[in-house]
Amino acid sequence: MPASCEASTEFSYDQNCAMAFDNDMETNWASFNEPVGNTITAVFSAPTMVSEIVYAARVNEDGEILSSKDVTLDFQANGRVVQHKLTLANVAGPQTFKVRPTLAQQVSITA
């Protein structure tokens, strides 16, 4: 769990960036008027080794993803940035991605 988070935009208080990291699939973060290119950043209290990302895109009533299928992860620590690229399947629900273990003070996710 991150110590805090930041987002490029937030749709409302009920869909703020903390909702993306609360382990509750009934809540979510939504950007405001930013269908593609939105960014959310998880900030850790200390450098943390990250080896897996669980991503759940918002979907419409037909089960189609409401964001880009291409996701960029920027792992940042000690002035260094390591980037990983993911491609989402067009399915509802969480998707788990294994990534090369990377030390991060924060992780920015752009979709």
**pLDDT (tens digit per residue) in 24-78:** 878 878 777 766 778 989 999 999 999 999 988 877 778 777 777 899 999 999 9
Going by C-alpha positions, the residue among 8, 7, 25 that lies closest to residue 17 is 7
The mean of the pLDDT values for the chain is 87
Q: What pLDDT was estimated at residue 19?
A: 83
Q: What is the distance between the alpha carbons of residues 68 and 51, in angstroms, rounded to a whole number?
A: 22
In angstroms, what CA-CA distances link 20 with 15, 79, 80, 91?
8, 25, 25, 18
The DSSP 8-state label assigned to residue 32 in this structure reads S
Q: What pLDDT was estimated at residue 35?
A: 66
* pTM of the predicted structure, to 2 decimals: 0.83
pLDDT band at residue 96 using 50, 70 and 90 as cut-offs: very high
Going by C-alpha positions, the residue among 18, 2, 34 that lies closest to residue 104 is 2
Q: What pLDDT was estimated at residue 63?
A: 73
Interstrand relation of 95-110 and 80-87 (parallel, antiparallel or unpaired) = unpaired
